[in-house]
């Protein structure tokens, strides 16, 4: 089945491309989600209009993405998670966590645009790429900190009364 892509589809093509796909993929995924049109003679005539409109839309989307990069670059996100002695987290920091933290700072980014190959599972400083546009990628600094353990918190108050008693004598 030949289809004309209305949007960029990862590992398939860009907006306006005519591509050959499996019948089921086209019928069950691309067409219902309005990502593509069937490549009929009438639709092929519309391709040129789509390409010119696509070029204009891409230019405006790129400008918006570059403006968003200027907002994202200075941001440093910090996450506190429980961790073991070796610095490995009991949980992890995922792209959804990064998206929620950015949303709390007033910047809305789709979690699927956050390029995190696997969740962050250790304490440290990381740089996370956010692909805002085909040609524009922002980089955000992420710090993952270890949460204070209960043992360390319990030791501190226990030591304080002992010091006060020694001072009273």
Q: Can you list the domains of the chain with their CATH numbers? A: 2-62 (3.40.5.10), 73-149 (3.10.430.100)
pLDDT (tens digit, 0 to 9) for every residue of the chain, 169 residues total?
999 888 888 899 888 788 999 999 999 999 999 999 898 888 877 777 777 887 888 889 889 889 989 988 899 999 999 988 888 888 889 999 999 999 999 888 888 899 998 999 999 999 999 998 888 899 999 999 988 765 544 444 544 444 444 444 5
Task: In whole angstroms, give the CA distance from residue 62 to residue 52.
Answer: 15
**What is the Rg, in whole angstroms, of the alpha carbon atoms belonging to the chain?**
25
Residue 30: both structure tokens together: 């691309």
Q: Are 120 and 142 in contact (CB under 8 A)?
A: yes
State pTM to two decimals: 0.62
Burial (CB count within 10 angstroms: exposed 0-12, middle 13-18, buried 19+), residue 94: middle
Half-sphere exposure of 160 (CA within 13 A, CB side): 5
Distance separating alpha carbons of residues 162 and 121, to the nearest angstrom: 38
CA-CA distance, 17 to 10, in Å (whole number)?
13
The pair of structure tokens assigned to 35 is 């990502």
């Amino acid at each position: 089945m030949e289809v004309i892509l209305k949007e960029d589809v990862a590992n398939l093509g860009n907006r306006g491309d005519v591509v050959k796909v499996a019948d089921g993929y086209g019928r069950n995924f691309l067409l219902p989600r309005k990502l593509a049109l069937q490549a009929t003679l009438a639709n092929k005539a519309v391709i040129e209009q789509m390409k010119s409109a696509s070029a204009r839309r891409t230019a405006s989307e790129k400008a918006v993405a570059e403006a968003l990069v200027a907002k994202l670059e200075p941001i440093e996100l910090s996450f506190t998670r429980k961790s073991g002695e070796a610095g490995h987290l009991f949980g992890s920091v995922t792209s959804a966590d990064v998206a929620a933290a950015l949303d709390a700072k007033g910047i809305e980014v789709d979690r699927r645009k956050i390029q995190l190959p696997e969740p962050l599972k250790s304490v440290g400083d990381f740089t996370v790429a956010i692909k805002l546009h085909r040609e524009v990628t922002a980089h955000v600094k992420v710090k993952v900190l270890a949460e204070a353990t209960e043992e360390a918190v319990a030791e501190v108050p226990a030591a304080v009364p002992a010091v006060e008693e020694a001072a009273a004598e």
